[in-house]
A and B are shown apart, each in its own frame.
Chain A
C-alpha cells in the first residue's frame, strides 16, 4: 500500500515534467503590455514638463540652468512604472520599454539625464496646461523651474523670467532632516 502510493506520486510528478524555468541563463521576455523602464526620445521632447507635474513619485525633476537650456532628470530609484508620464506626454516622447533587468549595486545606474534646448514662447512663457483644476496649483510650476537635481527634490519655485539669483540659491538646497534618522 505504501509502495503503491509512492508509485502514484512519481507518476503524478512525471505527468507535468520539469516546469522550472532556466531564467538567468536563457532570456525570458516580458509579457505583452508590460511596463518596464521608461525611455525618453530626446528628438521629440519639447520640454513642457508635463511628465514632471504628473509623476506620482516625483521622479522627474526640471531645472533651468540658463535661458535656453532645460535639464530634465529621471531618478528611476523611486519610479513605480505606472506609465503616467508616457500617457500624458503630448509628443509621445516617453515610451515604456520592456526592460525589467534593472538590478544594480549603484543607484546612479537607473537615472536618465535629458538636456533640452528651449526657446521662450513669446505669448505664454513656458506653459503647459496641467489639467489641474486647483487654481493655486495651476499658478505654481509655470515658467522657469529650479528643482534640485543633487538633492533629488522638487522645489516649488518658478519664475516668469529666468533669474540667476534663484538658480544660485537653489543650488545648495538641503532636504530637512527628519527625526529618528
Chain B
C-alpha cells in the first residue's frame, strides 16, 4: 500500500532529510556514501535537503536519546503531510545495544512512526539503496521470519531415557 501511495504522491523524486538522533556517525557516513557518484541515488530523484520543511522522507539514524527526543518529534512534525520515515541502522530500528539504557528511548519507533527499517551496523550503502528501492516498489522484499524446529519426538525419547533409568540399578542404589 505504501509503495502505491509513494508512486502516487512522489511520482518524480523523494527529497530526503537526514536526522541524526544520537548516532555514532557510522550510519551518517554511509548515508553520505549513498549520495556519491558510485551509488548515485539521484537516479531515483533522491536529493538531500537541509530543512525538514522541504523534505518528503526522513532518514532517522541513531537510537533516539532523551535530549533529542523532542527535537526529533518536532522535525517529524515539520515534514509536510505524505511522509515516510526510514530507520537507518540497528540503533534506529530496535535501539541497538542501548535499547534499554536509561537515557535512550529504545529505537526510532518509540519516537516517531517508522515505516521502513534498514538494519545493519552500519548498513552497507547497497542496503540503504535497497531499502529505498523497496519503498518505491522497484525490488521485492527478501527478509522473512524464520522458524526452525528440531525434528525429534520428545515423548518417545523421554520414555526411552526413563526406561534406561529403570533398567540401571545404580540409580536405585543412589536413591537409598
Q: Say whether A178 contacts B134, CB under 8 Å.
A: no
Number of contacting residues on B, CB 8 A? 57
If the complex has contacts A80-B121, A100-B126, are A181 and B145 also in contact, measured as CB distance less than 8 A? Answer: no
Give chain B's interface secondary structure class: mixed
| Smallest Cβ-Cβ distance to B40: which chain A residue | A20
Give chain A's interface secondary structure class: loop
B residues apposed to A, CB below 8 Å: 2, 37-40, 43, 66, 69, 90-91, 93-97, 99-100, 102, 105-107, 109-110, 115-121, 123-124, 126-127, 129-131, 133-135, 138-139, 141-150, 152, 154, 157-158, 161
- 12 intermolecular pairs with C-beta atoms under 8 Å apart: A57-B99, A68-B158, A81-B90, A101-B126, A102-B120, A102-B127, A103-B117, A103-B127, A104-B141, A105-B117, A110-B143, A111-B146
Q: How far is the CA of A108 from the CA of B93 in the complex (A)?
A: 11
Q: How far is the CA of A100 from the CA of B118 in the complex (A)?
A: 9
Q: Say whether A77 contacts B117, CB under 8 Å.
A: yes
Q: Say whether B97 contacts A57, CB under 8 Å.
A: yes
Q: Say whether B130 contacts A111, CB under 8 Å.
A: no
Stretch at the interface among A115-123, A138-146, A156-164, A166-174: A115-123
Residues of A within 8 A of B134 (CB): 103-105
Stretch at the interface among A2-10, A21-29, A127-135: A21-29
Q: How far is the CA of A112 from the CA of B145 in the complex (A)?
A: 6
Q: Say whether A109 contacts B145, CB under 8 Å.
A: yes
A residues apposed to B, CB below 8 Å: 19-21, 23-25, 28, 30, 40, 42-43, 45, 56-58, 68-69, 75-82, 99-117, 119, 153, 175, 178-181
Q: Say whether B90 contacts A77, CB under 8 Å.
A: yes
Q: Say whether B39 contacts A21, CB under 8 Å.
A: yes
Residues of A within 8 A of B97 (CB): 56-58, 78, 80
Residues of B within 8 A of A58 (CB): 97, 99
Pick the contact of A19: B2, B38, B106, B121 (CB < 8 A): B38
Q: How far is the CA of A75 from the CA of B121 in the complex (A)?
A: 15
Residues of B within 8 A of A116 (CB): 150
Residues of A within 8 A of B91 (CB): 78
Q: How far is the CA of A147 from the CA of B162 in the complex (A)?
A: 29
Q: Say whether A101 contacts B127, CB under 8 Å.
A: yes
| Smallest Cβ-Cβ distance to A77: which chain B residue | B94
| Smallest Cβ-Cβ distance to B66: which chain A residue | A180
Q: Say whether B119 contacts A79, CB under 8 Å.
A: yes
Q: How far is the CA of A20 from the CA of B35 in the complex (A)?
A: 11
Q: Say whether A24 contacts B130, CB under 8 Å.
A: yes
Pick the contact of B99: A45, A78, A102 (CB < 8 A): A78
Q: Say whether B150 contacts A43, CB under 8 Å.
A: yes
